[in-house]
Amino acid sequence: MSFVPGNQQRHLRACMVCSIVQVQQRFIREGCPNCESFLGLQNHPDSVQECTSQVFEGLITLADPSKSWVARWQRLDGYVPGVYAVKVVGQFRAKLPEEVVQSIEDAGGRYVPRDGTVHDDDA
DSSP string across 52-85:
EES-EEEEEEES-GGG-HHHHHTT-TTSPSEEEE
How far the first Cα of the chain sits from its last, in Å, is 28
- The reported pLDDT for the residue numbered 94 is 59
d(CA 15, CA 22): 8
Among 34, 30, 42, 43, CA closest to 16: 34
- The reported pLDDT for the residue numbered 122 is 52
Q: Please say whether the dihedral angle defined by the alpha carbons of residues 37, 38, 44 and 45, taken in this order, is positive or negative.
A: negative
Q: What is the pLDDT of residues 7-47, one digit of tens each?
A: 777 889 999 999 999 999 999 999 999 999 989 999 999 99
- The reported pLDDT for the residue numbered 92 is 46
Indicate if the pLDDT at residue 69 is higher than 70: yes
The band of 1, judged by pLDDT with boundaries at 50, 70 and 90, is very low
Element (H, E) at 3: none
- The highest-confidence range among 42-46, 70-74, 87-91, 105-109, by mean pLDDT, is 42-46
Among 34, 31, 57, CA closest to 44: 31
List, in order, residues 6 or more apart from 70 with CB less than 8 Å away.
60, 62, 76
